[in-house]
Amino acid sequence: MKFIHTSDWHLGRIFYGIHLTDDQAYVLEQLILLIRDEQPDLLVIAGDVYDRAVPPVEAVDLLDDVLSRIVLDCNVSVLLIPGNHDNPRRLKFGSRFLETRGLYLKCSFMQKMDPVIINDTNGPVYVYAFPYVEPSEAREILCDGTLHSHHLAAKAILDRVKMQHNRNIRSIIVSHSLVAGGEETTESERPLTIGGTGAVDASLFSFAHYSALGHLHKPQKIKDREIHYSGSLLKYSFSEALHEKSVQLVEMDHMGVCTVRRVPLKPRRDVRCIEGHFDDLKKSSPGGMSVDDYLMVTLLDQGVILDAMQRLRELYPNLLNIRKPFVEADMKSTTGVAEYQKIDEKELFASFVSQVTGEELSDIQLKEFEMVQEEMKKKGRSE
């Protein structure tokens, strides 16, 4: 059996005020081309399809277009579950009818979790969908008041799956969970709990031949088991700048042994962090990389750079954030008073002229400034 594992599309995402729908459509086009070339038996989307519970119209239209082309044009089945960003009830609209066309929207769980059965030349593969669920919801559905954590809720659900599953049949678990052993989270991942980890133990998934996970945005494998995060579709924060985004192409043999290959996705614009001195950055992009990428710049200058954002955007039109670590450090004092408040007004004006004109203030200009300054003070006293 051959299938593709992806997750965390976050359709409708806004990044520093920029709507990423076109960027998402760009990489989803690559996914469709991969599906046409590989002709997998199944596409798995492991949650966080949308970025928020009520997605914008353009995000809904994009999902409709992509799923229609995969299911109807490519004749490839899709299994989709909601994540903690999604609204399960909105996502599952028309699910019973859509299953007849090969689109499985598994947005809720019941006490008995019937698998989606995918057949290949070696027989059936049972695919169990475990969508994101709050412990409170698990307590209600399973009538078990002891389920006060994500781990206990997941254990109760997966124990039921194990009880009903025939170990001689190959199996896949699709889940949107934070599994212990995964690498650090990123800024764009919404915490599953407040004040706790929300993590579940990896051993819960050990009975499956492959576990297709969503939630963590970095592609990774959990320990030595076939428990995989495919990672997000795009880089959704600057903390993900060093990630290599991809989808997982998985081939499962007749014994359930999986061969996994990461297929990279090339973004329309990359998300990068660069650093340097202002004058150097104004001349050229470090490393010759694209100036159209989404950028965060760290300025290494000791002094204040006036209107740095707008001036750098003349070269980097998609500059989204600037860090000034040396200036920020200088603006803090032991008493909590900003250092710039201690700078002489004449020094501030000289710095301003230097930034705007690129020339040092002359002695004549300094004297004129002092004269104007004195006149302003006299006027203030008289009023």
Question: Does residue 105 have a pLDDT over 60?
Answer: yes
pLDDT for the residue numbered 335 = 43
pLDDT for the residue numbered 333 = 44
Q: What is the mean pLDDT of the chain?
A: 87
Question: Does residue 64 have a pLDDT over 80?
Answer: yes
Beta strands in the chain (DSSP E): 2-6, 14-15, 18-19, 42-46, 77-81, 103-105, 116-120, 123-130, 170-176, 178-179, 199-200, 210-214, 220-221, 227-229, 246-252, 258-264, 271-276, 294-299, 319-323
Q: What is the mean pLDDT of residues 29-40?
A: 98
Q: 127 or 302: which carries more pLDDT confidence? A: 127
19-33, 51-65, 82-96, 250-264, range with the lowest pLDDT: 82-96
Q: 356 or 263: which carries more pLDDT confidence? A: 263
Question: Does residue 346 have a pLDDT over 80?
Answer: no
Question: Does residue 332 have a pLDDT over 90?
Answer: no
pLDDT for the residue numbered 65 = 96
- Cα 199 to Cα 95, 136, 151, 180, 202: the distances in Å are 29, 16, 6, 6, 9
Q: What is the mean pLDDT of residues 29-47?
A: 97
Tell me which residue has tokens 């009023």: 383
What global pTM score does this model have? 0.83
Residue 372 backbone zone (phi > 0: left; psi -120 to 50: alpha; other: beta): alpha
DSSP reduced 3-state for 9: coil
- Could you give all domains of the chain from N- to C-terminal order, each with its CATH number? 2-264 (3.60.21.10), 271-382 (no CATH)
Q: 329 or 338: which carries more pLDDT confidence? A: 329
pLDDT in tens, 140-168: 888 899 998 999 999 999 998 988 899 89
pLDDT in tens, 174-200: 999 999 887 656 666 555 554 445 889
Percent of the residues in the chain that have a pLDDT greater than 70, as a whole number: 87
Question: What are 298's two structure tokens?
Answer: 């760290």
Q: What is the mean pLDDT of residues 258-282?
A: 95
Q: What is the mean pLDDT of residues 86-115?
A: 85
